[in-house]
Amino acid sequence: MSTAVAAAISDPEVESNNFLNLLIVDDDRSVREACREVARSLGFKGMVAESADHAERLLESNDVDVVLLDLKMPATGGLEVLRRIKQRRSDAEVIVVTGSASVQSAVQAMKNGAYDYVTKPFSMDEMRMLLDRVAGHLRLKTENRVLRERVKSRQAFGSIVGGAPEMEKLYRMIAKASRSNHPVLVLGESGTGKELVARSIHFSGPLRDKPFIPVDCGSLVPTLIESELFGYVKGAFTGAVQAKEGLLAMARGGTVFLDEIGEMPVDLQAKLLRAIQEKEIRPVGSTRRITIEVRILAATNRNLEQAVAQGAFRRDLYFRLNVLNLRVPSLRERRQDIPILIGHFLERLSRDCGREHRLSDDALKMLLGYDWPGNVRELENCLERACAITSNNEIRVSDLPSSITGSNGHAQLPGNGTSKIVPISELEKQAILNTIVQLNGDKLLAARLLGIGKTTLYRKLKEYQIQVV
């Protein structure tokens, strides 16, 4: 048979049901043609090659799902061709064809990754059944892959809601970060979803099957951060009754997420930097070093550059962590996402409490017009609270916190302003007091919502002699 005739044939007249590409490699023309007929009738696209070299050329330039390979090929042996096929297209399934005398080589071929074998002479019915089976197998393989991807993305990007251009940009950055192994610094105001982003980076990348370990540096006392991260030996300090492995060692190839990294004490920053650079840690009280394999993700709502300038954060650690940085936009910067976030949270809350919840028009208007200084977390909390206190299925304005209904983005001020003139200092005192009470004593959030620094708030509490328990 001429090369022209034996060349790749993908017949446009054949309606392909399977959309699978079959390559038939056989030096016997009648076998090639007969198999191609059967394959076509099953909806395969058939290509034929009469030699190993020809098969290789076709594999180079065509998508091939299944190869029907005669093991008794002149020049290059069939097993060698099988090896080359698998090397070039590891996911293609190969069915080997052997003479009845060489079942031994068929067994060897299966060991080398062939899907199945058929012995010559075979009937066309046999071939039909075999091809049908491999098509079913490939379909299942594809379905499984699609399913796996879907689960993967639900764990990762799937839980992040938002379609604003700023979010699209963030998704692209997450995808990029998840493919690399470098440290990533996630920046953004409080409640914007920094932890969610860190999880997405981990769960959509190659480390997804390894541990993801969050460490909140903001809520732990310095000595505890150290012993949590680096571990300790028995007797290292009072209370260390037995040795404890550090989280950096426990990650075992996974990710440690250092949340609120800006709160980490400076001496510990030096120790952390050394650990990242040398990929080694020394547990508290130990003289031995332990090798670690860990990817570091960190997040902060502080301006780290400023902290570096003020000497509160080590410059070298900052550069080390900032190899890649992702900024999570505030909700104010992506107001168009507020409605879908409301929908997302209401759906989840309705599911959780088995009761459908709606927003009245006025309540919705209020939520859409608010500034959301506490970002997505504030929106989530506000809806959670509203669902809990509403007497029926409709959330009304009266079910929303007064920080939202009072005025746009600022805590409600006392008095109606008409009954008497109130000095500014008194207004300020009341504003501070009201906000702290509404936030159940959370002074840090109060300072943020009032738009003043933490130290300023403490100074004013002292000045106005406000005692909050």
Ligand X SMILES: Nc1ncnc2c1ncn2[C@@H]1O[C@H](COP(=O)(O)OP(=O)(O)OP(=O)(O)O)[C@@H](O)[C@H]1O
Binds 403, which of Mg ion, ligand X, none (CB < 5 to 8 A, cut-off by type)?
none
**Residue of the chain from 14, 110, 161, 240 that contacts ligand X (CB under 6 A):** 161
Select from ligand X, Mg ion, none the partner in contact with residue 399, using the beta carbon and a kind-dependent cut-off of 5 to 8 Å: none
Q: How many residues bind Mg ion (CB under 5 A)?
A: 2
Residue 28 near Mg ion by CB under 5 A: no
Strands 45-49, 66-70: parallel, antiparallel or unpaired by DSSP?
Answer: unpaired
Q: How many whole angstroms separate alpha carbon 258 and alpha carbon 265?
A: 13
Stretch that binds ligand X, among 156-164, 244-252, 403-411, 453-461 (CB under 6 A): 156-164
| Minimum CB distance to ligand X, residue 379 (Å) | 8
Residues numbered 128 to 147 that lie near ligand X (CB under 6 A) are none
If the CB atoms of residues 20 and 328 are measured against ligand X, the closer one turns out to be: 328
Shorter beta-carbon distance to ligand X: residue 11 or 347: 347
Using CB under 5 A, which residues numbered 167 to 206 contact Mg ion? 195
DSSP 242-266: S-EE-HHHHTTTSEEEEETGGGS-H
The letter for the amino acid at 462 is K
For ligand X, the closer of residues 162 and 283 by Cβ is 162
Find all residues with CB under 8 Å of 267, minimum gap 6, and list them: none
Our CA dihedral for 335, 338, 341, 342, rounded to 10 degrees, sits at 170
Residue 178's binding partner among Mg ion, ligand X, none (Cβ under 5 to 8 angstroms by kind) is none
Q: CA-to-CA distance for 283 and 247, rounded, in angstroms?
A: 11
Q: How many CA atoms lie within 13 A of 409 on its CB side?
A: 12
Please report the sign of the dihedral spanned by the C-alpha atoms of residue 267, residue 270, residue 274, residue 275.
Answer: positive
Return d(Cα 460, Cα 448) in angstroms, integer. 14
- In this structure, are strands 290-291 and 280-281 parallel, antiparallel, or unpaired? antiparallel
Q: Does 373 bind ligand X (CB under 6 A)?
A: no
Contact present, 34 and 10 (Cβ < 8 Å): no
**188 contacts ligand X (rule: CB under 6 A):** yes
Output the smallest distance, CB 194 to Mg ion, in A: 5
Minimum distance of ligand X from residue 195's CB (angstroms) = 3
CB-nearer residue toward Mg ion: 68 or 258: 258
Member of 56, 116, 195, 384 binding ligand X (CB under 6 A): 195
d(CA 120, CA 118): 7
Span 257-286, contacts to Mg ion by CB under 5 A: 259
Q: Which of 46, 78, 162, 283 touches ligand X by CB under 6 A?
A: 162
**Cα 219 to Cα 225, 259, 328, distances in angstroms:** 9, 10, 22
Residue number of the CB atom closest to ligand X: 193
Q: Does 216 bind Mg ion (CB under 5 A)?
A: no
Looking at the Cβ atoms of 83 and 377, the one nearer to ligand X is 377
Of 301 and 430, nearer to ligand X (C-beta) is 301
Residue 437 beta carbon to Mg ion: minimum distance, rounded to whole angstroms: 24
Q: How many CB atoms lie within 10 A of CB 464?
A: 15
Which stretch, 49-57, 104-112, 121-129, 193-201, contacts ligand X (CB under 6 A)? 193-201
Q: Which residue's CB is nearer to ligand X, number 194 or number 244? A: 194
Q: At CA 159, angle to CA 157 and CA 160, rounded to 5?
A: 70
Query: In this chain, which of 46, 78, 183, 193 binds ligand X, going by CB under 6 A?
Result: 193
Question: Could you say whether residue 191 binds ligand X (CB under 6 A)?
Answer: yes
Per partner kind, with CB cut-offs from 5 to 8 A, the member of Mg ion, ligand X, none near residue 377 is ligand X
Report the half-sphere exposure of 150 (CA within 13 A, side-chain side). Answer: 6
The reply on whether position 263 binds ligand X by CB under 6 A is no
Long-range contacts of 122-129 (CB under 8 A, 24+ apart): 122/97, 124/34, 124/37, 124/38, 127/34, 127/35, 127/38, 128/38, 128/41, 128/42
Within positions 380 to 409, which residues make up the interface with ligand X, using CB under 6 A?
380
Q: Which of 14, 34, 164, 196 lies at the binding interface for ligand X (CB under 6 A)?
A: 196
In 88-209, DSSP assigns E strands to 93-99, 116-120, 184-187
Task: Output the smallest distance, CB 456 to Mg ion, in A.
Answer: 23
Give contact residues for ligand X (rule: CB under 6 A): 160-162, 188, 190-196, 301, 376-377, 380
